[in-house]
Amino acid sequence: MDAAGTHFTAPYRHVPVEAAASDGMASTLDQRVLDFSNCQRIPDFADKAKPLVSLAVEAMRTGRDGECISGMNPLHWAFAAADSQAFQEICDSVPHDRIVSMFNAPNGARSATEISYEVAGKVGPAINKDCPDQILVFLLNNAPEPMREGYYALFRSMKAMLIPGDLKGAAPNNTGNNRFNLAAGGGEEVMRWYCEMFRAAPDYQSVINHPTNAGARPLHHAARSHHPQKAKVFAILLAEGAWQSLSKLDNRGNTPLDHLRPDGQMIDQLMDDVEEYLLLSGLKEPERQSRIKTIKSELTDAFEQFQQEMHLTRETTLGKTVTP
């Protein structure tokens, strides 16, 4: 899946040509996959996945769960379909270690040609090497408001059954979006959970500052998000160590603050949120104060640089306007 805020078109468009029968008429299963592949909107995405999740769960219950439809295991399909009942059935049917294994299984990867089409903006998210939770988080952040509570219910059910260490690695997909890149486009509940899941990992600072193929790091995604909690998510990321990305440029030459476009009041509020978050972090006082000092220094420097560049831009624009 692409990060939240990107254009969403034709999810899971990758369907092999051999899916069609020789007489040109697709079988029932093939037709359902094609219908799912041709979805243009997220509500249709969930609706067309429902018959496929039923087939995937049935295959799992009968010991045929190796037969993944379009490279998606039953958890992928349950989350794509926003189907809480199917998710519960999966959890009740197999042992915890098998569930964990499914959570860590990415769906099928596409060919280089298909990826190049997506990068060119001609094809939307497809079988994109996402783990099931990445599909859920993407849909949760992009679904229309009436559907969001269903995805949140699924997220909370998932949160209740997984513990730190169950998810293995940050799982960058074909477009380079890892779990933190995707979560940064949404609300603080999801971001807090991922932080709890991965904070003890030895590569934590690397994954929380991870650049996508387009050079966008989680701070970039939080800054350009349209979510009402984006400033809170931005502050959480700073507190967790993503302040290291404040000066990093994406492929369009923008820093996170170029996307956030803060004023002095927002900077003060971000620091208040950082301090509030770290107060409950369990860090010892000297370490907590040291981290706050570092973040404040880095954020102040980044803000001053942002203001200078904005001033130069205004001067350049004004100069072009008044020059005869």
Same domain for 309 and 192? yes
pLDDT at 128: 77
Q: Are residues 149 and 52 in the same domain?
A: yes
Task: Give me the domain span that covers residue 280.
Answer: 187-324
Q: What is the CA radius of gyration of the chain?
A: 22
Q: d(Cα 27, Cα 30) in Å, to the nearest integer?
A: 5
26 pLDDT tier (thresholds 50, 70, 90)? very low
Give the lowest-confidence range in 14-23, 89-98, 245-254: 14-23
pLDDT-based confidence at 107, cuts 50/70/90? confident
Residue 171 lies in a domain: no
* More confident: 114 or 139: 139
Residue 180 counted as domain residue: no
Amino acid identity for residue 145 in this structure: E
Q: Is 59 within 8 Å of 75 (Cβ atoms)?
A: no
Count of other CB atoms within 10 angstroms of residue 131: 25
Most confident of 55-69, 89-103, 128-142, 262-276: 262-276
The total domain count for the chain is 2
242-263 confidence digits (pLDDT tens): 999 999 999 999 999 999 999 9
Do both 137 and 191 map to the same domain?
no
- Residue 90 is encoded by which pair of tokens? 């999966």
Taking each helix axis from N to C end, the angle separating 96-103 and 132-142, rounded to the nearest 10 degrees, works out to 60
pLDDT at 127 over 80: no
Closest CA to 126 of 136, 137, 115, 140: 115
The answer to whether position 262 is within a domain reads: yes
Least confident window among 24-28, 34-38, 221-225, 268-272: 24-28
Residue range 32-77, pLDDT digits in tens: 777 776 777 778 888 888 888 888 888 888 877 656 677 789 999 9
Same domain flag for 158 and 197: no
Q: 135 with 276, same domain?
A: no
pLDDT digit string, tens, across residues 264-306 = 999 999 999 999 999 999 899 999 999 999 999 999 999 999 9
Whether 216 and 158 share a structural domain = no
Residues 129 and 252 in one domain: no
Residues 221 and 152 in one domain: no
Residue 277 in any domain: the answer is yes
Mean pLDDT taken over the chain: 83
> 323 versus 182: which is more confidently predicted?
182
Check pLDDT > 90 for residue 1. no
Domain end marker among 127, 162, 197: 162
322 pLDDT more than 50: no
Same domain, residue pair 143 and 193:
no
Instruction: Identify the H or E element spanning 141.
Output: helix 132-142
Q: Is residue 47 part of a domain?
A: yes
Greater confidence, 144 or 159? 159
Query: Up-side HSE of residue 52: CA atoms within 13 Å toward CB?
Result: 30
Residue 276 near residue 240, CB atoms below 8 Å: no
Q: Which of 124, 116, 117, 122 is nearest to 8 (CA)?
A: 124
Mean pLDDT of 102-127: 57
Domain boundary among 121, 146, 162: 162
Q: Where is the domain boundary, 146, 162, 178? A: 162
Does residue 179 fall inside a structural domain?
no
| Dist CA 198 CA 296 (whole Å) | 24
How many whole angstroms separate alpha carbon 301 and alpha carbon 121? 35
Burial (0-12, 13-18, 19+ Cβ within 10 Å), 130: buried
Instruction: Check whether residue 157 and residue 197 sit in a common domain.
Output: no
End-to-end Cα spacing for the chain: 49
| pLDDT-based confidence at residue 124 (cuts at 50, 70, 90) | very low
The answer as to whether 181 is a domain residue is no
d(CA 256, CA 225): 11
104 plus 196 within the same structural domain: no
Tell me whether residue 155 is in a domain.
yes
pTM greater than 0.75 (yes/no): yes
How far apart CA 208 and CA 55 sit, in angstroms, is 36
Q: Which of 98-112, 159-173, 209-223, 308-322 shows the lowest mean pLDDT across its residues?
A: 308-322
- Residues 209-224, buried b or exposed e (16+ Cβ, 10 A)? bbbbebebbbbbbbbb
Q: Are residues 212 and 283 in the same domain?
A: yes
